Amino acid sequence: MRQGVWYIPYLMISSQLTNIFAATFHRNAVDGIVGIYVSDKDGARMVGVSIEDAPEQAFMTYVVTSFIASVQQLPKLGFGEVQHMITKYQNMTICQFVYAPNESTPPVYLTAVGTNACDLGALTSLEVPLRPLLGVLASRAAERFEQEAMLTRTDAGGHFYRILRTDAT
């Protein structure tokens, strides 16, 4: 995995936002934390930062999508609303957060990755300083989903567009 900041350009996240994200990660650096990233409701990474030693599997899309599925299913099993989840593996610890600034904005998911010996308190405390950035990212994701919905909307004929012909004959 490359060291540094990466992001998905179609969200048009400014370099200023990515720099804020990286600065927050480095300012709150704790031994054992090897990466942190934010994903949208589809599991697509929006922005993130990691060090070279970060385990590849922690940054795979299935990590976020399985968390999203768990968050949706746990209330149905009577566990109530879940705002964060900590998962320990043999070689890493993953702490994931749901951030939804309001009901009209889809949530974004913050994933912090640490070593297996990482301090859990340090992992869980990373979300608080990132809340302003998470709010901005959530609104950007909402704009993107709105644009996608407009593109897939169909009229009564089942087509997004209609070709009008004017025959001069």
Distance CA 14, CA 23 (A): 14
| 156 compared with 83, residue with greater pLDDT | 83
Q: Residue 85 has what pLDDT?
A: 92
pLDDT value at 157 more than 60: no
Q: Residue 165 has what pLDDT?
A: 52
- Which positions ≥6 away from 8 have C-beta within 8 Å? 44, 45, 46, 47
Q: Residue 146 has what pLDDT?
A: 78
Q: Residue 119 has what pLDDT?
A: 85
Instruction: State the pLDDT confidence band at 14, using cuts at 50, 70 and 90.
Output: low
At 108, phi and psi to the nearest 5?
-115, 160
Helix axes 15-27, 127-152, angle to 10 degrees: 150
Instruction: State the pLDDT confidence band at 6, using cuts at 50, 70 and 90.
Output: very low
Distance CA 60, CA 96 (A): 14
Domains in the chain, start-ordered, CATH in brackets?
4-152 (3.30.450.30)
Strand order in the sheet with 84-88: 4-7, 45-50, 33-39, 108-115, 92-99, 84-88
Distance CA 96, CA 112 (A): 6
pLDDT in tens, 72-109: 898 899 988 888 999 998 989 999 999 988 888 888 89
Counting every residue, how long is the chain?
169
| 7 compared with 75, residue with greater pLDDT | 75
Q: What is the mean pLDDT of residues 137-159?
A: 71
pTM beyond 0.75, yes or no? no
Cα 119 → chain centroid = 22
Instruction: State the pLDDT confidence band at 155, using cuts at 50, 70 and 90.
Output: low
Other C-beta atoms closer than 10 Å to the C-beta of 13 total 19
